[in-house]
Structure 1
């Protein structure tokens, strides 16, 4: 199967595959990383009319181009940070295909990136595939005991007085995690912005009109006392009819 090709709008340069596109994004993130927490990249898909789901799930917004970039980003991440609503709604299990797992193993990395979530009341579904998949390793940051038994060898339940994204990132840094992809949902992404710990945002604009009432926007929730944040554009790529925008967030600099 032919890999999708992408071209940058910035310099009209040669076509790139998803791996090369993502290498540039991740290289920027690692180069500008901090020692106190991982570099955090928000990864979201949105329809042309502003929806982030179709019938409650994001998968219908994607296509070959989006999936290629998404998997390449995952394959380079040390950890994925995903909200409990997204984990349950999208029925997360493994996150990579065999070739990407093989590449990670060849580089001395675990086959799958670590999965992390923040859920004060431990709201994960007991039958969530992620909890029962042998290849996955997960850290659940919570303020309460799990209401059901979990596999302690693969699922590390971390009790915190205040289970917040910032606290989760600090613990992940202590575990040696350098880069984290946040795959949503909108509430978690807004919390990262409010805590001033989101560094990069990679948005896929899907060539799809969804319609309907009250779209679930990319961010949902209060962004804190600083209010709206200003973004700096790092790159724009086209793959077929799909646009990919890479933004950098300037910390402590409201719009």
Structure 2
């Protein structure tokens, strides 16, 4: 069982892990404790191709200084050679006597570090502060489990389900409190996605902004999907992050490419056509609906065809939260659990209709 000192060290390791970037690799922190419980070194993973957290911490010690020590790590030490060597072997070679970690590594290639350590005579304790560690890298583990980023589909609507008035005007359906909430959620995402129709019609900046219009520190990568050209003077070209353009309607292929770039959370905010496409394809893990107490009528529905020809085929959702934002209401919902392998989220649709090849994926941007 982990000691109080080791638990405190794990909490410190979790703080260190948060300093690392989100991306292809998980955020991991490590603390090396002396046999008497003093902190000898700390480390964290700084991104793909850099030293893993354990090696980062060990590198700060003189040769032999870690002999008899305890390594406290937020994720099971890896057992494979990629851009760097296996951390389990590095700990063994350093003479560490005990390893305490929070989560088992969920990847087939990297798992097995605990078994390798035990085989070498190192004492191993797992599951310490596991819930906190899981919360930290939940999005990364979800990508590993499902093979694609977590997708949130957002729209704002009137009380009668319209996204705009009949003449196309839509600013502003919701009030300032709702808009502030949207920008905070944009900043928490890795990518914000819009369709070419919305980009051409509304010229959105796709940035995360404060109430005074200034840019927030965290900015999602702007992603534009669709076969129509984006005008060269579009606001998205002035985004602080280089935009990605996908000349396709193959949403699973786009998500696959984004996952390969280290994108873990996708925020879809590109108008009714794109929102409907993600819903129709079964690619929405979460739905955010901002409802304003106004009536618009007309034909500008917030969501179009999502593949529900009859009530028996309705997409059932579970409401996870309701929140008032000024005069508006925010409804957060997720698909009903349908497949344990997806963690209760929507199941990814096939990349093409039976008998038809998937559309070509063309990415003209550069992350």
TM-score (norm 2): 0.49
Check 1:247–1:65 CA distance in 2 against 1; reply closer, same or farther (3 A cut). Answer: same
Q: Which residue of 2 aligns with 1:130?
A: 236
Write out aligned runs for 1:67-216 (5 A): 67-93=179-205, 95-97=207-209, 101-104=215-218, 112-119=219-226, 121-131=227-237, 133=238, 135-142=240-247, 163-211=249-297, 213-214=298-299, 216=300
The alpha-carbon deviation at position 176 of structure 1 amounts to: 0.2
Check 1:29–1:224 CA distance in 2 against 1; reply closer, same or farther (3 A cut). Answer: farther
**Does residue 245 of the first structure (1) align with residue 331 of the second (2)?**
yes
Is the 2:154–2:275 Cα contact (8 Å) retained in structure 1? no
Check 1:87–1:227 CA distance in 2 against 1; reply closer, same or farther (3 A cut). Answer: farther
Deviations 1:20-41 (A, max 9, x none): xxxxxx9898388332111000
Measure the CA separation in 2 of the matches of 1:88 and 1:27.
Answer: 37
CA RMSD of aligned residues (A): 2.9
Q: Which residue of 1 aligns with 2:68?
A: none
Measure the CA separation in 2 of the matches of 1:192 and 1:114.
Answer: 18
Write out aligned runs for 1:43-82 (5 A): 43-54=154-165, 55-82=167-194
Is the 2:290–2:330 Cα contact (8 Å) retained in structure 1? yes
Is the 2:140–2:264 Cα contact (8 Å) retained in structure 1? no
Measure the CA separation in 2 of the matches of 1:29 and 1:238.
Answer: 27
Q: Which residue of 1 aligns with 2:104?
A: none
The alpha-carbon deviation at position 250 of structure 1 amounts to: 3.2
Unpaired stretches in structure 1, ≥5 consecutive residues: 1-25, 105-111, 144-162
Measure the CA separation in 2 of the matches of 1:97 and 1:61.
Answer: 18
By percentage of residues, which structure has more strand? 1
**Does residue 33 of the first structure (1) align with residue 142 of the second (2)?**
yes
Measure the CA separation in 1 of the matches of 2:137 and 2:286.
Answer: 9
Measure the CA separation in 2 of the matches of 1:249 and 1:91.
Answer: 31
Runs of 4+ with deviation above 6 angstroms? 26-29
Is the 2:175–2:326 Cα contact (8 Å) retained in structure 1? no
TM-score (norm 1): 0.69
The alpha-carbon deviation at position 103 of structure 1 amounts to: 3.6
Tell which has more relative contact order, 1 or 2 (C-alpha 8 A, sep 6+). Answer: 1
Deviations 1:165-218 (A, max 9, x none): 11111110100000000013112112112221110001000121223x32x222
Is the 1:94–1:130 Cα contact (8 Å) retained in structure 2? yes
State the secondary structure of the residue aligned to 1:37: coil
Deviations 1:78-104 (A, max 9, x none): 001111111222211251226984542
Deviations 1:225-253 (A, max 9, x none): 99431111100011222111000013658
Measure the CA separation in 1 of the matches of 2:168 and 2:136.
Answer: 33
Check 1:141–1:180 CA distance in 2 against 1; reply closer, same or farther (3 A cut). Answer: same
Unpaired stretches in structure 2, ≥5 consecutive residues: 1-134, 340-345, 347-367
Q: Which residue of 1 aligns with 2:364?
A: none
Is the 2:316–2:335 Cα contact (8 Å) retained in structure 1? yes
Measure the CA separation in 1 of the matches of 2:141 and 2:332.
Answer: 15
Check 1:28–1:63 CA distance in 2 against 1; reply closer, same or farther (3 A cut). Answer: farther
